[in-house]
């Protein structure tokens, strides 16, 4: 937790950037996290870490929860493969 608190402090101290720069950084970090998760050998640890990340990202935002639920539903039913399907 100490590392996490220090990291949050560093992020909060940064100068405000344009939204597109922020989004690019979020995307870069997300890709890095996914690669790190893929390198974990224990399936249980992968699942636990994935759920923790999802919970952190969603927080208490009902819109994000709805979007995540819909995306998971679409993925589980294979609807994203249909080019005519609109979520």
Residue 23 has pLDDT above 70, yes or no: yes
Question: Does 11 reside within a domain?
Answer: yes
Confidence at residue 46, expressed as pLDDT on a 0 to 100 scale: 93
Candidate from 4-8, 29-33, 46-50, 76-80 with smallest mean pLDDT:
4-8
Instruction: Residue 26: give the domain boundaries.
Output: 2-59
**Does residue 82 sit within a domain?**
no
- The pLDDT of residue 8 is above 60: no
CA distance 66 to 27: 21
CA 51/CA 72 separation, integer angstroms: 13
The torsion of the CA quartet 8, 13, 19, 22, rounded to 10 degrees, works out to -50
Confirm whether 79 is domain-assigned. no
Residue 16 placed within a domain: yes
**64 in any annotated domain:** no
What is the total count of domains within the chain?
1
- Distance separating alpha carbons of residues 34 and 26, to the nearest angstrom: 12
Give domain status of residue 83, yes or no: no
Residue 69 lies in a domain: no
Residue 33: its pLDDT value, please? 92
Region for 81 from its dihedrals, namely left if φ exceeds 0, alpha if ψ lies in -120 to 50, beta otherwise: alpha
More confident residue, 5 or 37: 37
**pTM confidence score:** 0.59
């Amino acid at each position: 937790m100490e590392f996490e608190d220090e990291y949050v402090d560093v992020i909060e101290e940064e100068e405000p950037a344009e939204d597109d720069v922020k989004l690019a950084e979020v995307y870069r970090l997300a890709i890095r996290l996914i690669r790190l998760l893929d390198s974990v050998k224990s399936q249980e640890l992968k699942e636990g870490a994935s759920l923790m990340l999802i919970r952190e990202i969603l927080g208490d935002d009902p819109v994000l929860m709805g979007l995540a639920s819909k995306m998971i539903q679409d993925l589980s039913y294979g609807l994203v493969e249909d080019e005519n399907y609109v979520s």
